[in-house]
Chain A
């Protein structure tokens, strides 16, 4: 057997190049197919990563603590006392690396020329900064200097819609816990830009103590957000926070806060696999056809080999080897092509032409494809497994030829 395999391999290799034109066409097809698989997967991975990143950015802190009813009705009535006792202790211990308490209530922002509904975030900038929850890019002015900063920071898109700007006074209106109108004027001290204009229009930042004063809620806050650095491993530590928080508070991780994001991460691999299989199904017809032709052309030859004593098993192996060579060559070409085409694009593809549509899915106007090793391995796995399965049929037929009849075919 040990001497047989190299011989079979040589036979298969040479057979492959007997009709080199057909082989090259098949190689091209497989190469393009594999490239398409990996490219699609990279683009999709880029999209999901982006959605998760954007989602987590507007929902910072992998674990959030609220009053029990806050998520059902995010109003000022459902606020909680700032963390103390066991909860405070749990928040100050590793693995928690950063935490912040903020006020988060619906409000209306009015200028001379319009008003819009927003989510008012009363933040303490010093505590929020390590969480990465503050706007990354300021286009004008400065961010709030502290929890008692009397200014406002709003998004560029919101400023445009309300026809207001840096240094102007605007009015925030909300409701206090007794349902009375709570409002105050404030000066715009900073304008930020976010990846999504939806974010810019929704979130309005003000100093936490100033908001607490305005709403007459004392020291209470709406939510506490905590982070341990990596969003993927949140399940390991958040039950401990939940235990420390007690029964009156609800502790949820981002996977529950935004199940959509969590699901997206989960189905990403599944989607890629489905795509790859579909692409391969189209390819497999070409592959089977090629092999069927190759066997058909060589019926007399196969009959001769059998007559000389070659076992059907070896004939099967030879055809499968031939198919494997073809697939491996195609895979190499496809992977190389994918590498060459994706790496230059990793700095981002401009999709601003369809940005509006993409924004509905929570994406910005640049797409960053991500070339992941697992996608390349997955495509290789799919192509080799399914390819060999598809080649079984022609190989099986070749191995079962009757030598006498085969030799007599003209």
Chain B
């Protein structure tokens, strides 16, 4: 009961605060547009870390709009050429060694992506955070000369989201600093942290992002972005199954 009252108070307070401040949904929208632009191309390294081993993969990623993403692995050699295409919430993977494009069935959407700590759903449903949650601005704080917005996102009743709530920290230059995934018993399950923020192509970008589960501190996945270009003219046939299978870039 006291929890409800607390949330009630928080909401009330937030409401009075938001009257003056920016709209929470708007901040998220901005942050999302900021890190992927209208279209983008990025080179990154994904590091999957476990207590007894570590694995690095270099990859290239293209995005256009909210709903189209193509990721292709370039290193290590063993995995080179395999890729993932998401269009409008559907997801396909291509593995050169078996020369097959496979549509990821719904049953596998909650499985991890390429062995990392990201789930297929994390990869394919970016914009769900905007459409399927209620957003409230919890707090604005100052850090390193920036204003940081702390936003709580509570999924709609029917939203296909297992979390009780997600808490985002977004800097005033629209860099996502932290995304916390809380379960419905108010226990923090996993966190996405921006460990480093740098300037790439004239924009502030989280160059090192780390996703880790709270109950397994030795296990995490890091994405290090080394190069990113925004608002490019991408060929129209980039986000198609044939381009997933036959890289032309």
Chain A interface residues toward B at CB < 8 A: 106-108, 110-113, 115, 117, 150, 168-175, 179-187
Contact = CB atoms under 8 A, between A and B. Distances in A.
A162 to B, nearest CB: 9
A174 to B, nearest CB: 6
Interface in B104-143: 105-107, 109-111
7 interchain residue pairs of minimum CB distance: A183-B160, A112-B183, A173-B106, A181-B106, A115-B110, A108-B107, A110-B110
B158 A181 contact: no
Contact of B106 (A113, A150, A174): A174
B213 to A, nearest CB: 10
Given A112-B163, A115-B110, A183-B160, 19 more contacts: A108-B109, A108-B110, A112-B162, A112-B183, A112-B189, A113-B189, A150-B157, A150-B158, A169-B162, A170-B162, A171-B161, A174-B106, A179-B103, A181-B89, A181-B105, A181-B106, A184-B159, A185-B162, A187-B157
Interface string B171-189: 0000000000101100001
B89 A185 contact: no
B38 interface: no
Nearest to A110: B110
Nearest to B187: A112
Which applies to chain B's interface (DSSP): helix, strand, loop or mixed? loop
B189 A173 contact: no
9 contacts: A106-B107, A107-B107, A112-B184, A115-B111, A117-B107, A169-B157, A173-B106, A183-B109, A184-B159
B184 A169 contact: yes
Contacts, number: 70
B90 interface: yes
B74 to A, nearest CB: 28
Contacts of B158: 150, 184-186
Given A113-B189, A173-B107, A175-B105, A185 B161 contact: yes
Given A112-B162, A184-B158, A185-B160, A168 B184 contact: yes
Contacts of A112: 162-164, 181, 183-184, 189
A279 to B, nearest CB: 51
A184 B160 contact: yes
B155 A185 contact: yes
A169 B106 contact: no
Contacts of B183: 112-113
Contacts of A117: 107
Contacts of B189: 112-113
Contacts of B111: 115
Contacts of A170: 162
Contacts of B109: 108, 173, 181, 183
A182 B109 CA distance: 11
Given A113-B189, A187-B157, A182 B162 contact: no
A179 B107 CA distance: 12
A174 B189 CA distance: 25
Interface residues of B, number: 23
Nearest to B161: A185
A173 B164 CA distance: 18
Residue from B109, B110, B156, B162 having most chain A Cβ neighbours under 10 A: B162
A183 B163 CA distance: 15
A185 B159 CA distance: 5
Contact of A180 (B90, B107, B160, B181): B90
Interface in B147-172: 155-164
Nearest to B108: A108
Interface in B26-69: none
B155 to A, nearest CB: 6
Contacts of A180: 89-90
A175 B106 contact: yes
A184 B105 CA distance: 15
A335 to B, nearest CB: 56
Contacts of B162: 110-112, 169-171, 185
A57 B249 CA distance: 57
Nearest to A175: B106
B105 A169 contact: no
B81 to A, nearest CB: 25
A23 to B, nearest CB: 70
A184 B160 CA distance: 4
A187 B89 CA distance: 23
Nearest to B155: A185
Contacts of A113: 183, 189
B184 A108 contact: no
Residue from A106, A171, A175, A187 having most chain B Cβ neighbours under 10 A: A171
A364 to B, nearest CB: 29
A183 B184 contact: no
Contacts of B159: 184-185
Nearest to B182: A112
Contacts of B105: 175, 181
Given A110-B162, A171-B162, A187-B157, A182 B106 contact: yes
B22 to A, nearest CB: 28
A210 to B, nearest CB: 9
A183 B106 contact: yes
Contacts of A171: 110, 160-162
A173 B110 contact: yes
A228 to B, nearest CB: 37
Contacts of A173: 106-107, 109-110, 160
Nearest to A213: B158
A232 B90 CA distance: 47
